[in-house]
Structure 1
């Protein structure tokens, strides 16, 4: 699945004092010089890190820099510490499971589960014998049993999207080898490897001396531990922007062409505006921004997501925001403009079947609408639902269901409409509109949980040919119907079409909160303003705010106005739970509208 990152207005400004900047390094040459400067004859360095790091380029450059200082390095890959590839595969199989589309989260495993204790002990002795200068590198280089063996401990970090590009291209180097795996299976990552890497990252962060952003091997950035921790501390005090992604798909549309220039993108379905799998850019002063995964700010969980989330859903960032494109310059059939007909699982369902912490609870906020705009939700009152299930199971998206509209209910839409989509509710974006999806994020790793029922047996997007000629999407009919609530038209009309209730305002701004359902764990709110408006996280509710209408607004803390950021139209920012009272400032004084998702319980 192709992904395109979009960097416009994505940088977060975190000014660092000269005492930290002077010890930072910006650019690959400066970072390599810094690492080489930490080496001396007989010293030991451990460089731990995430999947995706270009270890060959990093160690070659470091070896050359050390050689220039008269130091000859012994480079030891952490890959030699692992059990055999067959044994690793056997371990991973437990979490891949036999489910064709999903797995089982490894909730307790650690990287040491895949290490050979005798190899670790042998390396420990080698590091302790005092001979030569040794650099150990790769995932697991700084496991607890080796931490005390190093003079310098480094963590080389990497972000999700470039790692996925490597995975899909057969270029990812997994555990226990120095060579890329052409058949690495994505479930290995999302259900096992991610969790081992994540737990090891947290261990390594506790003891590291230097943090390296290694997303681009030709643009490394390094911070010493105290400077890195200060960046995290400062980030979670203020609104945080992320690098959004755009993705083509089988209903990919074209509104993006009027809004953004994205090289290579030829049809646009999803845009992720906020969520755990995105990256964060931080401007520390120089021209080279620090690029890091959003998981890193979960190091300050209470400040970011609040005490309730931290205690009940450890490590989980619970909310996400997507923008679904649906503009077509000429009319197209619903079979072209619509998402797959699908539903999402409840918390009980994902815990039972996938060992995930939270279900997928979703809303559609219509942010733009055009002629013929529509949303699919629920079933017609007279639909034969047993027949619908039979047809979907028989089709498995390889055989068309010509009369599918006899079953699924279509709703005309307009800007400001809000659809409440609790788990088990059949639905789908129908096209000719832009939808703001405001959802829960079910997974610490960012795993997607949509159960596709029917996708019109159509081809999907082929990003190499830039045409809709790819293989039809795989369905999840077993999970979909196991999870189904069989909601019909009248129930949608009376319970799922929310309406806004005014809850605050003074004539200069207005705040609405939409009606909800008891099972929905969050509220959707919106704020209208011309000049300024106020809001409050109350010290416990993380917010995600999206500018739905207007050109640009600034979001800033009331008590510390320097804690601020500006977002453009169709851009989101995370407002940490600990930020408290804050305000929205409309820079040009014209009409603006901000849509907010926030949890109900805190």
Structure 2
């Protein structure tokens, strides 16, 4: 049982509700069980305290607030259980002897067939896992004129417009915005309890995810940004029968606080075909009743959320709120270039006692822009956080690579189920702790079994062109998609032979030294727009941001304390990802452990 649940009754109540979602992962608790969190250990529910009486729990308190307003707009993300929200609020409002008029935005959606026609150009081929970023607006999915023309009913005590895009109504009324974490949205999707925006049919998860990524999330994020300054209340809708909420003014104060001190998102974890055992063995409070963990979304901000805490109550909001409000504080001198888009990603690939990743590559910049509508491409590096003795990384081609023979071998394998002796074509390199392998776009690569890889990368994260996947099935017994055509449109066959060792395996260089510290440069490739340093130290070091955002992790040691110029203090444990925004200006890192600490720092060039 997850130790964040204080008793069996609470656990089983939650368990019954979780039938609405399909996941091995625990639902974040409404209220933090502080005894389950040990300072100095990896925390799966990192929360920023924002003071007392800032986050309120339950529909009863929210109902009281709504009654005071009389007329409200309840907007929010797709995947919210709008029928449940309405039913709970209606019962509580009517219990007060009040009459409520509901206007539901779902009633103003265009017919499903018309919406499907509108979004189809952005979904690519039916059997493809990729589409291209949608260029529509959210109002295009609705009979906008009719929705905007709705008026309150003066014969009712309370008037509420409810549902996704409710703010399209032309009312000068407070807006409650109900957010939902992307992981919970996907668990509901897999549990067949939600559909895509404007659709009334459950589809295969990969088709729904594609629609979410390329259409729904694009439209909803644009809409959220458009109404940002009008939101009065922010609510967290991830619990099926409960809710936590706060005033937008307090939420903005919380964002301002972390945008000049430290930022840590809530990580989430996923099993996979090649997954390993490191995460299960080293991270407290994850569900151990799973076959493996393949990924930890440490800082993949299109899908991670920020958690705030008041009086023990937790409220999670999507990371894009921070970028909409505070992009200049977060990115400093790089804000003009990247805007709302946070450009660096940290995640774990766990193959410890697991299997090899697929042989793969990622798109060139022009290709990802023209084919998929992204602005930056998936340039990656593999930092080896931990590994077994015989661990290795596949990277770059053999000197004698013949692209035509290689392609024929891959296609024969796919068609006839024949194993490929992959090292006839691709180099295998021994991996050891703290190695950094460089994977600019177009580079053939794979993490071999026996690694815990910290993937330090550009933010795009789904554009992986698999060429060979060891003839295995996914965890549901289905073949994993192979993308030979896309791969061969992007592979750089000049990254072969000795050039791989010279250009794609980083050679550390000491830049500066002090009494008990070293600043080490782990150079990235010329194609990478970010660079990597590591700070090795015994006691403490001081660092200036120089108007640059630093994405960091303790990669050796027990725990550290970060003190920023505004007086904020935060303790981070081994393997926890955190961000020091540009506006922090300077910070001190103190080693709280008995052995030397090593901290990786990724930053924009």
TM-score by length of 1: 0.88
Distance 2:269 2:497 in 1: 32
Q: CA deviation at 1:14?
A: 3.2
Distance 2:333 2:165 in 1: 31
Alignment of 1:357-376 (within 5 A): 357-376=375-394
Of 562, 567, 581 in structure 2, the residue corresponding to residue 561 of structure 1 is 567
1:141 aligns with 2:166: yes
User: 2:329 maps to which residue?
Assistant: 303
Distance 1:6 1:577 in 2: 33
Structure 1 pair 202/151, CA: closer, same or farther in 2 (3 Å)?
Answer: same
Distance 1:417 1:356 in 2: 30
Q: CA deviation at 1:372?
A: 0.9
Of 533, 537, 550 in structure 2, the residue corresponding to residue 543 of structure 1 is 550
User: What's the secondary structure of 1:460's corresponding residue?
Assistant: coil
Alignment of 1:427-506 (within 5 A): 427-442=445-460, 448-462=462-476, 470-486=477-493, 487-506=495-514
User: 1:102 maps to which residue?
Assistant: 130
Q: 8 Å contact 1:422–1:520 — kept in the other structure?
A: yes
1:396 aligns with 2:402: no
User: 1:54 maps to which residue?
Assistant: 81
Cα deviations across residues 231-253 of structure 1 (Å, max 9, x unaligned)? 22112122111221222222211
Distance 2:522 2:27 in 1: 30
Distance 1:6 1:171 in 2: 16
Q: CA deviation at 1:130?
A: 6.4
Q: 8 Å contact 2:66–2:72 — kept in the other structure?
A: no
Q: CA deviation at 1:12?
A: 2.9
Alignment of 1:50-449 (within 5 A): 50-98=77-125, 100-106=128-134, 108-123=135-150, 126-127=151-152, 133-143=158-168, 146-147=169-170, 149-176=171-198, 181-182=202-203, 185-260=208-283, 261-263=285-287, 264-299=289-324, 300-308=326-334, 310-328=335-353, 337-396=355-414, 399-442=417-460, 448-449=462-463
User: What's the secondary structure of 1:98's corresponding residue?
Assistant: coil
Q: CA deviation at 1:28?
A: 3.8
Cα deviations across residues 459-487 of structure 1 (Å, max 9, x unaligned)? 2223xxxxxxx212111111111000012
Q: CA deviation at 1:135?
A: 1.0
User: 1:592 maps to which residue?
Assistant: 597
Q: 8 Å contact 1:313–1:357 — kept in the other structure?
A: no
Of 17, 32, 49 in structure 2, the residue corresponding to residue 14 of structure 1 is 49
User: What's the secondary structure of 2:378's corresponding residue?
Assistant: coil
Distance 1:121 1:419 in 2: 54
Q: CA deviation at 1:80?
A: 1.3
Distance 1:216 1:227 in 2: 22
Cα deviations across residues 263-293 of structure 1 (Å, max 9, x unaligned)? 2322122222112134345344311111111
Distance 1:524 1:440 in 2: 12
Distance 1:342 1:480 in 2: 7
Distance 2:308 2:154 in 1: 42
Distance 2:26 2:573 in 1: 16
User: 2:56 maps to which residue?
Assistant: 25
1:583 aligns with 2:588: yes
Structure 1 pair 153/12, CA: closer, same or farther in 2 (3 Å)?
Answer: same
Q: 8 Å contact 1:324–1:434 — kept in the other structure?
A: yes
Moved more, 412-421 or 182-191: 182-191
Distance 2:244 2:513 in 1: 45
Distance 1:2 1:349 in 2: 34
User: What's the secondary structure of 2:316's corresponding residue?
Assistant: strand
User: 1:38 maps to which residue?
Assistant: 69
Distance 1:283 1:454 in 2: 42
Q: 8 Å contact 1:553–1:586 — kept in the other structure?
A: yes
User: 2:3 maps to which residue?
Assistant: none
Structure 1 pair 31/275, CA: closer, same or farther in 2 (3 Å)?
Answer: same
Of 507, 512, 516 in structure 2, the residue corresponding to residue 508 of structure 1 is 516
Q: 8 Å contact 1:368–1:414 — kept in the other structure?
A: yes
Moved more, 575-584 or 519-528: 575-584
Q: CA deviation at 1:348?
A: 1.7
Q: 8 Å contact 1:376–1:428 — kept in the other structure?
A: yes
CA RMSD of aligned residues (A): 2.2
TM-score by length of 2: 0.88
Distance 1:180 1:301 in 2: 37
Distance 1:110 1:398 in 2: 45
Q: 8 Å contact 1:256–1:325 — kept in the other structure?
A: yes
Cα deviations across residues 140-186 of structure 1 (Å, max 9, x unaligned)? 1112xx24x24332111111000011122222143347x67355622
User: 2:19 maps to which residue?
Assistant: none
Cα deviations across residues 57-80 of structure 1 (Å, max 9, x unaligned)? 221121122112221112221011
Distance 1:6 1:163 in 2: 12
Q: CA deviation at 1:406?
A: 1.2
User: What's the secondary structure of 1:155's corresponding residue?
Assistant: strand
Structure 2 portions without partners, runs of 5+? 1-21, 29-41
Q: 8 Å contact 2:77–2:220 — kept in the other structure?
A: yes
Distance 2:196 2:462 in 1: 22
Q: CA deviation at 1:129?
A: 6.0
User: What's the secondary structure of 1:337's corresponding residue?
Assistant: coil
Distance 2:24 2:578 in 1: 20
Cα deviations across residues 410-458 of structure 1 (Å, max 9, x unaligned)? 111211211111111101001222211100013xxxx511111100111
Distance 2:249 2:420 in 1: 62
User: What's the secondary structure of 1:211's corresponding residue?
Assistant: strand
User: 1:574 maps to which residue?
Assistant: 579
Q: CA deviation at 1:546?
A: 0.9
User: What's the secondary structure of 2:166's corresponding residue?
Assistant: coil
